[in-house]
Amino acid sequence: MSDSHNNGGKFLVGIFDDDDVVLKAVKEVKEAGVRIHEVYTPFPIHGLDVALGHPRTKLGIAAFMFGLSGTLTALSLTAYTEKFDWPMIVGGKDSYSFPVYIPVIFELTVLFCALGMVGTFIVSNGLGPSVKPLMFDLRTTDNKFAMAIDLSKNGLGEGRIEQILKESGAAEVNVKQF
Amino acid sequence: MASVHAIPSLEQEYEFTGESKRRLLIGIGAGVALVAIGAFLLASGVGEHSHEVVQGQGHSTGHEGEHGYKWTTRLWANLWLNGVYFTGISVIGMFFISYNYLAQAGWSSVFKRIPEAMPAFLPVTAVVILVTFFVAGHDLFHWTHEGLYDPKSEDYDPIIAGKHGFLNTPFYIGRLIFYFVAWYGLWRLLRNFSLREDLEGGTEYYDKSIKFGVVFLVVFAVTSSTSAWDFVMSIDSHWFSTMFGWYTLASWHVAGLAVMTLTVVTLRERGYLQAVNENHLHDLGKFMFAFSIFWTYVWFAQFMLIYYANLPEETIYYRERFSGYGGIYKAPFFITLFLNFVFPFLVLMTRDAKRVTNILKIACWGIIVGHYFDFYTNIMPGTVGEHGGFGPIEFGMILIFACGFMWSMSAQLAKANLYPKNHPMIEEAIHHDI
């Protein structure tokens, strides 16, 4: 998905009617030696990422790092304000009594993680302001499944790829120029 | 990708072999021997402190009653502790089936027979708990002493007298009987539906199971809290916490899930339940991970409010565990926190960990042991106080109960096909993929 906002080019777009068909087609098209740019679906399909050969997502690591930054921020914030900058005794406790700050630490961890992941989502999907995402077929937001193939990255001819797509169950094949 | 998994046959019988029976009997025998050794040591006064340990608080909360301390109290306290812990694990089997029916969950149906076999142990714990209460109620429960409620008596305690409407022996015994009858009865019902579904098929029993599962959940919503007060919180009669019902339920729940997962993994390793794939294990791992954090959340919510408010009548509970009785409960207190939060949190965090059976097993054992110590920390200070410890009696009692529980579960598993083969969701469960 990261290269969906590239510099354009000429694409062949196979339109499929059914999620099972598109999942099967992905395997067949790949076996025929065609590099698939991306598949667009109205809903997540189980096993599609595996079939496309996507590497395991690194979102978990990103989330962990964002969370950790929140934890560290909260730890230093509470330590700095309550221990060094302006020590206060509340409820007869030591000015830095750790259990009291666990909710703050927890909340900031969640907040940083959530905001960071929203940012990650926007960046990795190319959804920034004034960025125009590639839209291969508007119907993929409704009931159709589109398989986009970048012609510049495939050695096979246009006619041959169209034939492969049709054979693997595409209802129609369109050319899309960006 | 459903096509990746080969579909094994759904006809499989679990065999409770003579070899397993022999091993469990040896386990129970070893447990009895350990308890006997421990009891002998206690009765002859070995390892008992000759002088009174100085209490951290410097004042007695009166748990030991007016009769003084008897060494048998530790024996009864251990029976009570294991009775409560295994009651919880057993009833969580029923809880798990019921909420899976209510959610119309498909994935869990493939190993449904495992939670279904767990509540069969309830009659045993019911007998243990009732007998312990009848024999040693006065030693374990301060509130059972009559003088506390008589304004003319020198033992009169206005705080406990104020709880007399709830904490009185007839009502208490009535409640205990109600819990076990209701939990066990509803389980019997669901179990019979499930067995008849195996023979006859159709969706009739599925619909009925949802209905009676909901009845159980309504009953359990109330009784899980009240039983937590009765079983555990009433030991410290002065003290109360509004979080306690949730806290005990969370503890039972995650321990029950760990037992369930451990059983599924073990059966799989022995060649049973091959239709359970790593996706099911992943989901069970997520369950344990999530409910370990839920337990921590409730534990901390209870702790922090008391810590923050700093009211003496509330903080005494943590004082007793943290520094009271010569500090002997400090270790279990922190073992509980480590094994029930830090350990599963770190071990089960990654996706791979939940799909690798060896890591999953380690996490299960951590949780099972950790929640034993959770109940240990909650029950022991109020019952045996400074006479507590961890010796042969504790080990032996765990062994007896664990082997008994495994026996009861294996016997149940052997009674039916290992898969609910006519469950309407079984096909979905076999193709479970996440």
Per residue in B305-363, pLDDT (tens digit) is 999 888 888 999 999 998 888 889 999 999 999 999 999 999 998 888 999 999 999 99
Token pair of A43 as six digits:
């809903």
pTM beyond 0.90: the answer is no
A4 within some domain: no
Range(s) of the domain holding residue A83: 59-124
Find which of A54-63, B41-50, B114-123 is predicted with most confidence, using mean pLDDT.
B114-123
Chain B segment 191-210 residues within 8 A of A by beta carbon are none
A84 within some domain: yes
Q: How many domains does chain A have?
A: 2
Give yes or no for residue B93 having a pLDDT over 80.
yes
Q: Give the model's pLDDT for residue B63.
A: 45
Tell whether A68 lies on the interface with B, counting CB pairs under 8 A. Answer: no
Same domain, A64 and A84: yes
Give yes or no for residue B184 having a pLDDT over 90.
yes
Tell whether A50 lies on the interface with B, counting CB pairs under 8 A. Answer: yes
B51 within some domain: no
At which residue do the structure tokens 């034939």 appear?
Answer: A163
Q: Give the model's pLDDT for residue A7.
A: 52
The residue type of A44 is P
Cβ atoms of residues B281 and B355 within 8 Å: yes
Cβ atoms of residues B63 and B383 within 8 Å: yes
A24 within some domain: yes
A100 within some domain: yes
Q: How confident is the model at residue B7 (pLDDT cuts 50, 70, 90)?
A: low
B50 within some domain: no
Percent of chain B with pLDDT over 70: 93
Quickly count: other Cβ atoms within 10 Å of residue A127's Cβ: 11
Q: How many domains does chain B have?
A: 1
B186 within some domain: yes
Same domain, A51 and A66: no
B36 within some domain: yes
Write the DSSP assignment of B356-412 as a string of letters: -HHHHHHHHHHHHHHHHHHHHHHHHHHHTGGG---SHHHHHHHHHHHHHHHHHHHHH
Q: Which stretches within B141-203 are classed as H helix?
A: 158-162, 169-200
Q: How does pLDDT run across B11-54, given as a tens digit for each residue?
A: 888 999 999 999 999 999 999 999 999 999 988 876 555 444 44
Cβ atoms of residues A150 and A37 within 8 Å: yes
Tell whether B352 lies on the interface with A, counting CB pairs under 8 A. Answer: no
Cβ atoms of residues A145 and A18 within 8 Å: yes
Same domain, A82 and A119: yes
- Helix (H), strand (E) counts: chain A: 5, 4
Range(s) of the domain holding residue B200: 15-44+69-430
Same domain, A116 and A156: no
Nearest C-alpha neighbor of B238 from the set B315, B147, B325, B326: B315
A5 within some domain: no
Q: How does pLDDT run across B136-165, given as a tens digit for each residue?
A: 988 899 898 888 888 888 888 888 888 989
Q: How far is A99 from chain B (nearest CA, A)?
A: 7
B54 within some domain: no
Token pair of B97 as six digits:
């089936």
Of B49 and B209, the structure prediction assigns the larger pLDDT to B209
Q: Give the model's pLDDT for residue A129.
A: 81
Chain A contact set for B309 (CB, 8 A): 91
Chain A contact set for B307 (CB, 8 A): 99-100
B132 within some domain: yes
Cβ-Cβ contacts under 8 Å for B373 (sequence gap 6 or more): B332, B335, B336, B339
CB contacts < 8 A (A, B)? 24
Last residue of a domain, one of A102, A124, A146: A124
Same domain, A63 and A117: yes
* Distance from C-alpha of A13 to C-alpha of A39, rounded to nearest angstrom: 9
Tell whether A155 lies on the interface with B, counting CB pairs under 8 A. Answer: no
A63 within some domain: yes
User: Coil, strand or helix: which one is A13?
Assistant: strand
B231 within some domain: yes
Q: How confident is the model at residue A128 (pLDDT cuts 50, 70, 90)?
A: confident
The residue type of A91 is G
B5 within some domain: no
CATH code of A24's domain: 3.30.70
Tell whether A44 lies on the interface with B, counting CB pairs under 8 A. Answer: no
Q: Give the model's pLDDT for residue B2.
A: 45
Same domain, A44 and A76: no
Looking at chain A, which residue has its C-alpha nearest residue B309?
Answer: A91
CB pair distance less than 8 Å for B304 and A92: no
CB pair distance less than 8 Å for B350 and A102: no
